[in-house]
A and B are shown apart, each in its own frame.
Chain A
Amino acid sequence: MNTASLRADLALIAAQVPADARVLDVGCGDGTLLAALRDDRGVDARGLELDAAKVSAAMARGLAVVQGDADRDLADYPDDSFDIAILSQTLQTTHRPDQVIGELLRIAPRAFVSFPNFAHWRVRLSLLWDGRMPVTRELPVSWYETPNIHHLTVRDFCGFATERGLVVDGAWYLANGQPIGTTGANWRAEQAVFALRRR
Chain B
Amino acid sequence: MATAIRQLDHQHLVLPSPLRLDSGAMLDGVVVAYQAYGTLNAARDNAILLCHALTMDQYVASPHPVTGKPGWWDRVVGPGLTIDTDRYHVICANVLASCMGSTGPASIDPAAAKSYAMRLPVVTIADMVRAQMALLDALGIERLHAVVGGSMGGMQALCLAAHYPARVGRALVIASAARHSAQNIAFHEVGRQAIMADPDWQGGDYYGSGRVPTKGLAVARMAAHITYLSEAGLTEKFGRRLQDRDVKTFGFDADFQVESYLRHQGISFVDRFDANSYLYITRAMDYFDLAEPHGGRLADAFRGSPVRFGLISFDSDWLYPTTESRRIVQALHAAGAEASFVELSSPFGHDAFLLDSPELWGLIAGFIGSGR
Contacts and interface: CB of A to CB of B under 8 A. Distances in A.
Interface of A: 46, 52, 55-56, 58-68, 76-78, 81
Contacts of A67: 341-343
19 contacts: A46-B338, A55-B340, A56-B363, A59-B342, A60-B366, A61-B366, A62-B369, A63-B340, A63-B370, A64-B308, A64-B340, A68-B341, A76-B329, A76-B333, A76-B334, A77-B333, A78-B333, A78-B334, A81-B333
Contacts of B338: 46, 64
B367 A56 contact: no
Interface of B: 308, 310, 329-330, 333-334, 336, 338-345, 359, 362-363, 365-367, 369-371
Given A56-B359, A59-B310, A78 B336 contact: yes
10 cross-chain pairs, A with B, having the tightest CB-CB distances, nearest first: A62-B370, A60-B366, A55-B342, A60-B362, A76-B330, A66-B341, A67-B342, A76-B333, A64-B338, A64-B340
A56 B362 contact: yes
A62 B364 CA distance: 9
A62 B334 CA distance: 22
Contacts of A58: 340
Contacts of A63: 340, 370
A59 B333 contact: no
A47 to B, nearest CB: 9
A154 to B, nearest CB: 33
B367 A59 contact: yes
A63 B308 CA distance: 10
Contacts of B329: 66, 68, 76
State the main secondary structure of chain A at its contact with B. mixed
A78 B333 CA distance: 7
Nearest to B334: A78
B81 to A, nearest CB: 15
A60 B343 CA distance: 14
A78 B363 CA distance: 27
Contact of B367 (A52, A62, A77, A81): A62
Contact of A52 (B336, B344, B365): B344
Nearest to B367: A59
A58 B366 CA distance: 9
Given A56-B359, A65-B340, A76-B330, 17 more contacts: A52-B343, A59-B342, A59-B367, A60-B363, A60-B367, A61-B366, A62-B367, A62-B369, A63-B340, A64-B308, A64-B340, A64-B370, A66-B329, A67-B341, A76-B333, A78-B336, A81-B333
A64 B330 CA distance: 14
B366 A62 contact: yes
Nearest to B310: A59
Contacts, number: 61
B365 A81 contact: no
Contacts of B339: 64, 66
A77 B339 CA distance: 12
A21 to B, nearest CB: 15
Nearest to B170: A62
Contacts of B345: 52
Nearest to B362: A60
B314 to A, nearest CB: 11
B336 A81 contact: yes
B333 A62 contact: no
Contacts of B342: 52, 55-56, 59, 65-67
B342 to A, nearest CB: 4
A63 B370 CA distance: 7
A1 to B, nearest CB: 14
A153 to B, nearest CB: 34
Contacts of A62: 366-367, 369-371
A66 B340 contact: yes
B251 to A, nearest CB: 46
A78 B308 CA distance: 18
A46 B333 CA distance: 11
A193 B362 CA distance: 34
Nearest to A74: B333
Contacts of A81: 333, 336
A80 to B, nearest CB: 10
A52 B344 CA distance: 7
A61 B366 CA distance: 5
A17 B90 CA distance: 39
Contacts of B330: 76
Contacts of B343: 52, 67
B344 A60 contact: no
A107 to B, nearest CB: 10
Contacts of B310: 59
Contacts of A60: 362-363, 365-367
A16 B363 CA distance: 30
A56 B344 contact: yes
B157 to A, nearest CB: 16
A59 B359 contact: no
Contacts of B340: 55, 58-59, 63-66
